[in-house]
Structure 1
Amino acid sequence: MGPIRVKCRCGEKNCKEWAIIELQGVIEAQPHLQNNLQNLEIGRLCRPPSQEIYTFTIGYHELTGSKITLKKPFLVLKKVKHSEPDGDQNISSSKSSVNVELDVVGIIRQKIMFKTRPKALITSSKKL
């Protein structure tokens, strides 16, 4: 296997900014959603314009957190495989070498940390 090249086609100044969301605990999907997690919306992340406090609402729970700058940024990479046919033109033994490149999709410089317990948004109902 040869070297893996990293390419950034957008340039560092134009690279999409991503962020990490760090939670304490586990988020579990309901049983009927277990096999369909792709593009699943798990909550709502908000930040009032005049504040640096973030809220993350998941179902009936609300978390409060803050943004932290990472000491070292992370790159978000996408693996791209390129097949190059060998010089042999024999169709019965068509071998090809695969070159792998890593394409930069985004950069992560900050994380939003939610380190407190969630606040319940619904209180118990009164019994009649």
Structure 2
Amino acid sequence: SECREWALLELQGVLEIQPSAQHLPLNAFSIGSLSRSQQEKYYFTIGYHELEGKKVSLKKPMLVLQKVLRADPIDVESSPVVLSTQYPTQVQKTSELKAIGIIRHKILFKTRPKALISK
């Protein structure tokens, strides 16, 4: 499998989840909308705020890893652990890390957000 190119968003400040939504998992949220202009400026709209940023190369690339759990049957004869005969199949849980992406750039938003006001 190949590693996809990812980007890192660097924001200044704190993003807060509304108290009514704190029981939801993080992947249930949409933080905002990211767009790019022809002048290579990036705009990130969060609610009624717009941030302006730029693309910056990282000094060292970062790897995005995913933990994969595996259940391997245990070889009873070579296992140093005494196994109970109550359970006919013994399973050993192992995990491995799978590279799913690489990050070579970040989009840096270091200025204060601009308020978007509807007229």
Q: TM-score with structure 1 length normalisation?
A: 0.77
The corresponding residue for 1:20 is 8
Give the alignment of 1:51-70 within 5 angstroms.
51-70=39-58
Identical aligned residues as a percent? 52
> Where does structure 1 lack aligned partners over 5 or more consecutive residues?
1-8
Corresponding residue of 1:76? 64
Q: What per-residue deviation string (whole Å, max 9, x for no partner) do you get for residues 81-100 of structure 1?
A: 22222223865255433332
Work out the CA distance in 1 between the residues paired with 2:62 and 2:86.
Answer: 44
Q: Which runs of 5+ in 2 are unaligned?
A: 77-82
Which amino acid counterpart does residue 44 of structure 1 have in structure 2? S
Cα deviation 1:35-56 (Å, max 9, x = unaligned): 12323111111102x2111011
Tell me what 2:31 maps to. 42
Aligned with residue 92 of structure 1, among 83, 86, 92: 86
Q: Cα deviation per residue 1:12-51 (whole Å; 9 max; x = unaligned)?
A: xxx2111110000001122211112323111111102x21
Would you say how many aligned residue pairs link Structure 1 and Structure 2? 111
SS at match of 2:86: helix
Counterpart check, 1:121 vs 2:110: no
Counterpart position of 1:4: none
Partners of 2:94 and 2:33 in 1: CA distance: 40
Local SS of the residue matching 1:92: coil
Alignment correspondent of 1:6: none
Instruction: Report the RMSD for the aligned CA atoms in angstroms.
Output: 2.1
In 2, the alpha carbon distance for the partners of 1:17 and 1:39 equals 23
TM-score by length of 2: 0.82
Give me the whole-angstrom Cα distance separating, in 1, the residues matched to 2:14 and 2:107.
16
User: What amino acid sits opposite 1:92 in the alignment?
Assistant: Q
Q: Secondary structure at the match of 1:38?
A: helix
The letter for the 1-side match of 2:30 is: E
